[in-house]
A and B are shown apart, each in its own frame.
Chain A
Amino acid sequence: MKKIKNVFSQIYRSYLFRRTIISFLSLLGLSLIIFALARVIPGDPARMALGPRAPEDVVERYREMLHLKDPLIAQYYYWLSDLFHGRLGISLVTFRDVSADILEFLPATLELMLFTAIIQIIGTIILGTISGCRPGSLVDGALRIFAYVGITIPAFVWAILFQLIFSYYLGWLPAVGRISEDLRVPRVTGFMLIDTILTGNVRAFIDALQHLILPSLSLALGAMAQEARILRSSLVENIGKDYVVTFASHGIPYRTVCFKYALKPSLLGLVPVMGLDIASIIANAFMVEMIFNWPGISRYGITAMLRKDLNAIVGVVLVVGLIYVIVNILVDILIFILDPRIRRR
């Protein structure tokens, strides 16, 4: 009995368990807030979905189907019970279950997000390290200017610029979509790159990769510039610390000191920022998705808000919340791996 109690106590005390419980409660709270807020937006959702000329009985049927005439708390109860059955309610824009829509649109944004994350991480480390290891140099100056430009220009402006340069003027990369019109890739996972590999279609794989470049680059640049600045500052600070000076006094080359001994601790402060930036892509990608006609969940979410698609709004916000939670947990794990002090604690 004592053993079992111990096990439970260990589980309770375990980081992941606590995080999961807190995350679940956060998501529940988020769903409640967004559920209430979505219903404050003016307009009758059923009438808006069906148009001004739809007969009143049909509109009424929708109101009943969505429980719009019930008190808010009852509506929330119905929604929750649906949620536990794997349904998120009917979308008033696509006229099917929101969960089906999310499953359809989420992979496109996740794929974009992952590709953006790769560009962002690589770019940040390269730029931040080069700049931070040579503070005050010409390269540092150039990279700082780039960083300022990157931070100040929003992603959708980059998207338009890249589209103009690489699609319109140079004609190197496609302007819209996930894959060219003449290619058909059977949907397996919804991730175009994976599906092209699974179906063994090399041409489609390269085509899909080409389609990913511009939107991901547009989304990555701003965050990359900001994070490179953080990494630079952190590196500059660490390079001046006693342990680094000691390494250098032992005759270890500056490059090695910088890249090997100063970089790792400098990354610690960056990881949470990077994690949040990557997670934010899912919510902030809507303009980029619009410009590149990317059928992702971010664009779906914005359409839902503009059309007062109640269930879709709540569904999308929940997914965004869930992604934030997952990314935060991953960030914590990463910090746990990177920082021996936390491991010891």
Chain B
Amino acid sequence: MSRIFTQALTRLQLVIIIVIIVIAVVGGAIAALYRPTAPTLTPSPTPTPVITTPMPTTPPTTSPVVERILRVSFANVPYPDPAVGSDEASSNFLANVYDTLVYVTPNLTIIPWVTERWDVSSDGLIWTFYLRKGVKFHVTGREMIADDVYFSLLRLITIGEGYAYLLAPYVDMNKTKVIDQYTIQIVLKKPYGAFLWALLRLYIVDSELVKQHIKRPGPYGEWGDFGREWLMSGEKDAGSGPYMIKEYRRGEAMILQKYKDWWNAKAFAPNAPDTVIMYGFTDPSTIRTLMARRELEITDQWQPLENYEWMINNIKYVELAKLHGGQEFYLMLNSQKPPLDDIHVRKALAYAFDYETAIKQINPYEKRAITVAPSALLGWCAPPENITYDPQKAIEELKKSKYWGQFDKYPIDYWWVAEVPWEERVALLFKSNVEGLGVGLKVNVIKMPWLSVVEALSKVNTSPHIVSIFVQTDYPEVGSMLMNRYHSKTYGTWMQNEWLYNYQPQLDRMIEDAVATLNTQERYAKYCQVMNYIFNLYPSIYLYEHTTLKAYQAYYVDWPAAKGNAPYLILGLDLEYWRINVYPEKRAELLK
């Protein structure tokens, strides 16, 4: 029998058949035996904390036997070092893993956090913070003391990356000192009205733990590498916040777990996630698949509009969170390039643009911007004039310009960022509007890669006439946007293309004075003055106040930010994991 069999088939055929059978059997077995079951129901490692605050809108479940997992996607996996990261994922990670001296409520009020209270000298230069007792670090379990705050501040300023730019120009480390175990005095070089906001980015590290991992020699002199390599490895964190690192899968995900000994544990939402997974991918088809499989709870903000719409229309109980925040989309006009060096031309372009169409036809979720900073920011005031699409007014302004009658000699280059395809539609609309005036103005719409935009904006003579870019605030006050957009410090960066040399140094002085003012109301009044001053120079066309979109599983995730109950104007604070409720039982229902 075997002879007949071997005669019928050659050795090669036999091998092929065996391989096919093995693949089929193994593949079938794998697919059949390990076909992913609906929910991952595993015993919870820790009991769900006692319900205190905040109260969820959905009644808490009675069975605490399943692990509560929250999975969120970002553009990248966070940088785990609090002196390095400042992108969205890192800001979110840091805000959940590290504590800060002060914190912010959903209605944007600064409150004491690991500090019980603070004093400030009458000149606004000396700030004394009195630390709370009993704040414990994740890894060592050691109590946080003033030395840790001093070390964290020194480390951030010395390394100079991440959010250091918010504190480094103001803090005088030579005079800053530890008064006693629980008191630290931070001395400023000059008054800084937004100092408390800046402290939201001073993440306090376990100084002893970090010192143990310092590598010498390193780029920071006696401090070697300041423990940077160790912190960046993500092996452990040095924080004391509500979540701690469970596992860092570099390039793939950051996995966090709830820290049950958090000093403010009573503030955990009753169904706060036990595990949080921060993914670093945004591929639309992957996001869609994971949302449909209920393997992703909250998406990133980088999905194409069609993907969000598909998800909310086709996946049951997926809803769209619209976080109207601190980003504004500008058409930045180069005030040094003819014909835009003439204020009448800049003003005319502002009247020539059809804002309504740009919103309705291109970005329906965006809100119309009407002045130099988004209206959600503190200290904002309405502009002196509400600019609307008015071609007649535009022509009247152009007639006042020194270039009237010779616009054909000065074509306008409009750059849009190649990586953001919808910007082309804005550019083409602008071109159509401006050329439609019929006065000889020509607009060249140019697609430009981001790297080239950044390079070109580093010098005034290589900057285009117009470039369209989103800019984000650092803290929720108008002052932040004024500094980023119109202060001479950001000349040569992608944050401005206006090059308002002609209005300096007055403009710088006005901005600096406003930001330095300690009295809040007085500061806001000054912001208003500066805003109106800039507005009247017509340096930019204000188009969109950005609404960040994120799809989420509304049926089993109770996410305060989606209901407007979170300080999401501050980058990363839309996802305070400790305030989010997750209901795995409801997820299991959906998967049945």
Binding site for B on A (CB under 8 A): 41-44, 47-48, 50-55, 57-58, 61, 65, 94-96, 104-105, 122, 125-126, 129, 160, 163-164, 167-168, 171-178, 181-182, 184, 206-207, 209-210, 213, 255-256, 259-260, 263, 290-296, 299-300, 308
Closest to B77 in A: A295
Closest to A297 in B: B251
**Which residues of the partner chain B approach A295 to less than 8 Å between Cβ atoms?**
249-252
Binding site for A on B (CB under 8 A): 9-13, 16, 19-20, 23, 27, 30-31, 33-36, 40, 42, 69, 71, 79, 81, 84, 86, 159-161, 164-165, 168-169, 219, 228-229, 232, 247, 249-253, 255, 275, 277, 279-281, 283, 285-286, 288-290, 292-293, 295, 449, 451-452, 454-456, 458, 474, 484, 490, 493-495
Closest to B279 in A: A293
In contact, A182 and B40 (Cβ under 8 angstroms): yes
Out of A181, A182, A209, A263, name the residue touching B12 (CB < 8 Å). Answer: A263
Closest to B11 in A: A260
In contact, B86 and A51 (Cβ under 8 angstroms): yes
Known: A43-B455, A163-B286. A168 touches B20 (CB 8 A): no
A303 CB to nearest chain B CB (Å): 8
Out of A65, A129, A160, A209, name the residue touching B219 (CB < 8 Å). Answer: A65
Apart from A52-B493, A58-B159, A58-B161, list 18 A-B contacts with CB within 8 A. Answer: A53-B484, A53-B495, A54-B161, A55-B165, A55-B169, A57-B160, A58-B164, A65-B219, A129-B16, A163-B286, A174-B36, A176-B286, A181-B40, A181-B253, A255-B13, A291-B286, A293-B279, A308-B451
**Which residues of the partner chain B approach A129 to less than 8 Å between Cβ atoms?**
16
In contact, B79 and A163 (Cβ under 8 angstroms): no
28 A-B pairs whose Cβ atoms sit less than 8 Å apart in the complex: A41-B451, A42-B449, A42-B451, A43-B455, A44-B454, A44-B458, A48-B454, A52-B493, A54-B165, A104-B251, A105-B250, A168-B289, A175-B290, A181-B277, A206-B30, A206-B33, A213-B30, A255-B13, A256-B10, A260-B11, A290-B281, A291-B285, A292-B286, A293-B280, A295-B249, A295-B252, A296-B251, A299-B251
Closest to A129 in B: B16
Complex Cα distance, B493 from A184, in Å, reads 43
In contact, B84 and A95 (Cβ under 8 angstroms): yes
Known: A43-B454, A52-B493, A171-B35. A164 touches B165 (CB 8 A): no
Known: A171-B35, A181-B69. A122 touches B23 (CB 8 A): yes
In contact, A164 and B285 (Cβ under 8 angstroms): yes
Closest to B76 in A: A303
**Complex A-B, nearest 5 residue pairs according to Cβ-Cβ distance, in ascending order:** A295-B251, A52-B493, A58-B160, A42-B455, A295-B252
Closest to B157 in A: A55
In contact, A210 and B30 (Cβ under 8 angstroms): yes
Most buried by B among A44, A48, A292, A293: A293
In contact, B252 and A177 (Cβ under 8 angstroms): yes
Closest to A50 in B: B161
In contact, A182 and B281 (Cβ under 8 angstroms): no
In contact, A172 and B35 (Cβ under 8 angstroms): yes
**Which residues of the partner chain B approach A260 to less than 8 Å between Cβ atoms?**
10-12
In contact, B229 and A96 (Cβ under 8 angstroms): yes
**Which residues of the partner chain B approach A126 to less than 8 Å between Cβ atoms?**
16, 20
Complex Cα distance, B280 from A105, in Å, reads 15
In contact, A207 and B34 (Cβ under 8 angstroms): yes
**Which residues of the partner chain B approach A43 to less than 8 Å between Cβ atoms?**
451-452, 454-455
A18 CB to nearest chain B CB (Å): 34
A93 CB to nearest chain B CB (Å): 9
A340 CB to nearest chain B CB (Å): 18
Out of A164, A174, A178, A182, name the residue touching B252 (CB < 8 Å). Answer: A178
**Which residues of the partner chain B approach A51 to less than 8 Å between Cβ atoms?**
86
**Which residues of the partner chain A approach B493 to less than 8 Å between Cβ atoms?**
47, 52-53
Closest to B471 in A: A52
In contact, B252 and A52 (Cβ under 8 angstroms): no
**Which residues of the partner chain A approach B281 to less than 8 Å between Cβ atoms?**
176, 290, 293
